[in-house]
Copies of this chain bind each other. A is one copy, B any other.
Amino acid sequence: MDSSDSIAIIACGGRLALECIEEARSSGRLGGVIALEGESIPEVVALADHVLKWGQIGRLISALERTGAKKVLLIGSISRRPDFRTLVGDFETIRWLPRLLTTMAGGDDSVLRKVIGFFESGGYQVVSLADVAPGLLAAPGLHVGRKPSATEREDIETGFAALNAMAAFDVGQSLVIGQGRIAAVEAAEGTDAMLERVAQLRDARRVPWKPGTGVLIKAAKRQQDLRVDMPVIGPQTVEGCARAGLSGIAISAGSVVIASRSDCIKRARDAGLFIVSCDQAALGPDAPSGAIVPETP
């Protein structure tokens, strides 16, 4: 294998990291796996070449060097924001501290962009999940469930338009809309917490929809760097939508990943939810009728 094509995967929380590792391995491009203690799932830790603790920046760099890879995929969730107090016990880290301190100043997206800069300044190319595992990105079409009704198609159009309008302000990765009304908009709380809020609002009759009403719309924000912050739905999202009494999920094809796809499909089927990938670019008043749900799924 040409080392220039080899990919080192820094795998944090969630099963998606495992799926990426499997895809990279099956395409023969896996250079190595670095897991993060307390974040990576056991299956990832079990097959990792290196398992690091939070703050072991020095060891991270050495581990990367040992993989021989020049491309890096950062994948998986981080349950907490790195704390400077965890930067202990790793002498090598001190060498990287000044650059790291610069990296950690600023908002969430800004941090991620700076993390990319950190790796790039070390000669690495940060690649996206779409480069490593394009199969995980959903093509446009209906994945499970019935086709959205005319009302739901309108809601889906409105929902994507609203996310688009908010994207310029680096907010709104997802929202819940039903019967023409937006019930919740995601900001810093994350999709799961937003879905839980919708469930509570419905219990309290603050959102007076009949059960099986409302669609989760999810897309990438315009300023979102898909190399480090790919929007994802997974089994937990599907369960959240079911608890919130929604009728389905509409994601932007090409920029939202369905993690643990077969599990998602099964749970959605059991809960009577549809999952549809939409070609956001094809939405709008002049869009052909098949733009949201292609006539041949």
Contact = CB atoms under 8 A, between A and B. Distances in A.
Interface string A159-199: 00110011011111001000111111111111001000100
Given A81-B208, A158-B169, A162-B166, A189 B180 contact: no
Contact of A81 (B166, B180, B184, B205): B205
A267 to B, nearest CB: 25
A108 B170 contact: no
Nearest to A107: B181
A117 to B, nearest CB: 18
Question: How many copies of this chain does the complex contain?
Answer: 2
Contacts of A169: 158, 161-162, 165, 182
B183 A185 contact: no
Given A182-B188, A184-B188, 9 more contacts: A162-B166, A162-B169, A162-B171, A165-B166, A165-B169, A171-B182, A172-B185, A183-B187, A185-B187
21 contacts: A106-B179, A107-B180, A108-B181, A161-B169, A162-B166, A162-B169, A165-B165, A165-B168, A170-B182, A171-B175, A171-B185, A172-B185, A182-B187, A183-B187, A183-B188, A184-B187, A184-B188, A184-B189, A185-B186, A189-B197, A189-B206
Interface of A: 80-81, 106-108, 158, 161-162, 165-166, 168-172, 175, 179-190, 193, 197, 201, 205-208
